[in-house]
Amino acid sequence: MSEHVIELNDSNFDQTVASSPALLVDFWAPWCGPCRMIAPVIEELGKELAGKVVVAKVNVDDAAGVAGAHGITSIPTLMIFKNGALVDRSTGLASKAALLGKLQAL
């Protein structure tokens, strides 16, 4: 992770969702090829949206509780939360422009 993208897990996920006005979460795993492909996009969004949107990653291997609770069956899965409520969910690769559009709509 970097200073712009935080790591969420079973112990801090719910608290972070509840306390973040806008939150993008990338559910991923190190062995997932598409996850590695979208990782630079997530990093760029973290830098560009710092102070506006919290950008986070959840390693599904390390946070099986969170992944199970949110029905993650395919990765990468991207979720956008606004004021604690899930407002968007997508699975698979997404372009930076498409994600930026969704986040700016918040």
* Average pLDDT of the residues of the chain: 95
* Statement: residue 45 has pLDDT above 90: yes
**Full set of structural domains in the chain with CATH:** 5-99 (3.40.30.10)
Active site residue: 5, 25, 32, 103, which one?
32
Query: What mean pLDDT do residues 77-89 have?
Result: 97
SS (H, E, C) 76-101: CEEEEEECCEEEEEEECCCCHHHHHH
Does 32 participate in catalysis according to the annotation?
yes
Active site residue: 5, 8, 35, 67, which one?
35
pLDDT band at 71 (very low <50, low <70, confident <90, very high): very high
Task: Give me the sign of the Cα torsion angle 16, 25, 74, 44.
Answer: negative
* Statement: residue 93 has pLDDT above 70: yes
* Statement: residue 106 has pLDDT above 70: yes
